[in-house]
Amino acid sequence: MSNMLSNWWYPPASEGNRSSLDESRVDTDEDTTIVEPDQGNVLSHIISQLRPGADLSRIVLPTFILEPRSMLERITNFMCHPEMLLHIPSIDDPTERFVAVVKFYLSGWHIRPPGVKKPLNPILGEVFSCYWDLEEGKSRAYYISEQTSHHPPKSSYFYMVPDHHIRIDGTLKPRSKFLGNSAASLMEGIAYLSLLNRGKDKTKGEQYVITQPNMYARGIMFGKMKYELGDHSFVRCPELDLTADLEFKVKGWVGGTYNAIGGAIKRESTGEVLYELSGLWSDEMFIRDVTTGHREMFFNATKSKPSPPKVRPIREQADRESQRLWEKTANAVRERNHEVATDEKTKIEDRQREEAAKRSREGIQWHPRLFRAVKGAHGQPEEGMSDLEWIIDATVDHTATSDQQAEQIKAIYPIVDGQQANLDFLDGNPSRSTMVEPKPPSDEGTETDSGRDAPNEELVETGHGDTTPTTAEPASLPAQTPDEIDKMLSSTGKKPEGPLIDFTEEMKADLPATQSNGQAPQ
């Protein structure tokens, strides 16, 4: 259907050790998708329905904008430059150590799929694990992730390199906003990078608190579709009294350039700026010592070579592991067979709704299998880390030998080749779920955040500048669309019985509730 996908190629997935980077690219081409007239009409047809009062459950998002892998797998992009990470615990100077952490943080953003792509939304309880063989096989890094909530979506992950005293715990909470001709994915959530051989608290190590920039898809209604990172993110180490305020700059209406960054590393207590950062996150980045005025290359994305993780063969995976779960959908997306992709995607999402409805009828409250709620109160194990929300439900003793730590990690869930998953371990009604008072199923039969109420609805953001929230009265849906539009929609997807598109639930949360008189609430 589309010429937009003809300029690059999805390699076929191999049965063993398929790389998480197979569909990502690391060059400096612009992150632009040329939307042909028919596709532009399709997108305009869809976006035209995004008004207060519209029934979003009937809108189908064309699968040509999907990335053929789950968000749980996409998170591993940030761990694909181990050469920037492994030496950090051995740096004795605290400021140099902090600067090295910032460099590692900035090294992963250039790894992204071609054009404008959205990863598949993980289903509740979905799991993805992988590993990296490092330093010519002398050490190994491990990664385990699980979708710990579906509404709102929360992806929790654990990463550890026993030989180098490195651990990362994170929870990513993407939230979608529609901004006129743009769509935003607000990357809420937090990660803690711990250097376990450093720090005053020997149980936690020296901790770095990390947030992420937001992601924008420009030109979704007209013009060229363009991917951008935007807004501020932070790297903080309270123990060292250091913080990095990093701005991912979006291109302005008149001037500016794409993919620019700026920022400063400073003393948090005094605000004293030690270093300034500049450049392009997709190209060359520079650091300037404010004291001496010396400026040098910080990271060159054009010459870097990511280290892709390894994944167990699909035949060894359980039904709810990402690559096995989405295998048929992902293959269809690669082959540009949008009808099959939509069919397979719908089957997975329908099953998830049926499982949620069954739990509701039977009074069963779902709990994650591999992660537990953070114990962040005073005197508890994760004191001060409550904003993480979920953490791996296992004890890995970082004072033990590296081999012993590796065995403890692999005992959490199968990670390396030869570890067979228990096919009943990740079923739709896991044994770790607990009984609660039965309640009638909701109209959608969907799960909230581990039993908590879904967040309050918010206003849709629209406007020429893509920045100003507005409130509008409900408008009627467009008149019957022409036959040719219906034909083009049918070529990219099929109408399901219930919600299908990735953004459906997020968009519902963005729209204001309507009152019985048809007026938007004031």
Model pLDDT, residue 2: 33
What distance in Å separates the CA atoms of residue 395 and residue 391, rounded to the nearest whole number?
A: 11
CB atoms within 10 A of CB 280: 18
Asked if pLDDT for residue 509 goes beyond 60, the answer is: no
Give 301-360 pLDDT, tens digit per residue: 888 888 889 999 999 999 999 999 999 999 999 998 888 988 999 999 999 999 999 999
What distance in Å separates the CA atoms of residue 341 and residue 266, rounded to the nearest whole number?
A: 48
What distance in Å separates the CA atoms of residue 25 and residue 249, rounded to the nearest whole number?
A: 21
Q: Which of 57-61, 257-261, 518-522 has the lowest mean pLDDT?
A: 518-522
Asked if pLDDT for residue 234 goes beyond 90, the answer is: yes
CB atoms within 10 A of CB 134: 18
What distance in Å separates the CA atoms of residue 502 and residue 63, rounded to the nearest whole number?
A: 10
Beta strands in 152-241 (DSSP E): 154-161, 166-179, 182-195, 206-210, 214-218, 225-237
Rounded average pLDDT over 3-19: 35
Model pLDDT, residue 342: 86
Residue 518 binned pLDDT confidence (cut-offs 50, 70, 90): very low
Asked if pLDDT for residue 362 goes beyond 80, the answer is: yes
- Does residue 392 contact residue 374 with C-beta atoms inside 8 Å? no
Give 80-117 pLDDT, tens digit per residue: 899 899 999 999 999 999 999 999 999 988 877 666 78
For 327, the token pair is 């295998």
Model pLDDT, residue 492: 42
Of residues 342 and 411, more confidence is placed in 411
Report the alpha-carbon angle 284-285-289, nearest 5: 140
Which pTM was predicted? 0.76
Model pLDDT, residue 255: 67
What distance in Å separates the CA atoms of residue 319 and residue 321, rounded to the nearest whole number?
A: 6
321 φ/ψ sector (left φ>0, alpha ψ -120 to 50, else beta) = beta
Q: Which of 53-57, 115-119, 430-434, 498-502 has the lowest mean pLDDT?
A: 498-502
Q: What is the mean pLDDT of the chain?
A: 76
Contacts of 219 (CB under 8 A, 6+ apart): 35, 181, 182, 225, 226
Give 254-292 pLDDT, tens digit per residue: 667 888 999 999 999 999 999 999 999 889 999 999 999
CB atoms within 10 A of CB 293: 7
